[in-house]
Each structure stands twice: as C-alpha cells, then as structure tokens.
Amino acid sequence: MYYTWGLVILQVFPDLATYIDSTFTGILGGLLHPSPDFLVQLPIYLGVVLIMIIAMWIGYTMVTTPAPEPLEDFDFDEEEVAEKKEE
C-alpha cells in the first residue's frame, strides 16, 4: 500500500524523485541504489549467519544441559516395589 502511494506522489510531483535522489545519494546512496552483487550476496550471508546461530544455540544447549543419570546406577527394584504397593 505504501509503495502505491509513493508512486502516486512521484507521478504528481516528478521533481520530487530528482530531489530525493540528489539529496540522499551521498548519505544513503548505498541503500537507495544497491549493487546487484550486494543483492545476491545479502541473502547468502544471512543464511550462513542463521546456520551459525543455530549451531551456536545447539552447542550452548549441549554444554549447559546436565548429563542424564546412567542406567547402571539406577535401582529398578524400587520402582517395582512402589508399583506393587500402589495396587
């Protein structure tokens, strides 16, 4: 919706586009007219960063999660006795 209003305004005031282009070329020139190479490299870079963040999250979770109790130290007889008492 905002793009259509921008197109209407630029059709009514064609000099406005030249004014904006000449005023902000020095300040925001890279954002207003990005190179095609940058437009290809940006999603690739963001994808790699996203994969790295997910890998760091998995690594952090693995480091901070305590190890489970080993099964050989677990006493299974206590559970069987508790189940028989409940019945």
* Token digits of residue 64: 């901070």
Q: Is 34:28 a contact under the CB 8 Å cutoff? A: no
The secondary structure of 17-28 as a DSSP string is HHHHHHHHHHHH
Two structure tokens written together for 48: 């790699």
Is residue 32 within 8 A of residue 24, CB to CB? The reply is yes
In the predicted structure, residue 84 carries a pLDDT above the cut 70: no
16-39 per-position pLDDT tens digit: 777 777 776 766 666 666 778 888
Q: What is the pTM of this model?
A: 0.50
Which tokens go with 44? 């690739």
The residue written with tokens 């189940």 in the block is 83
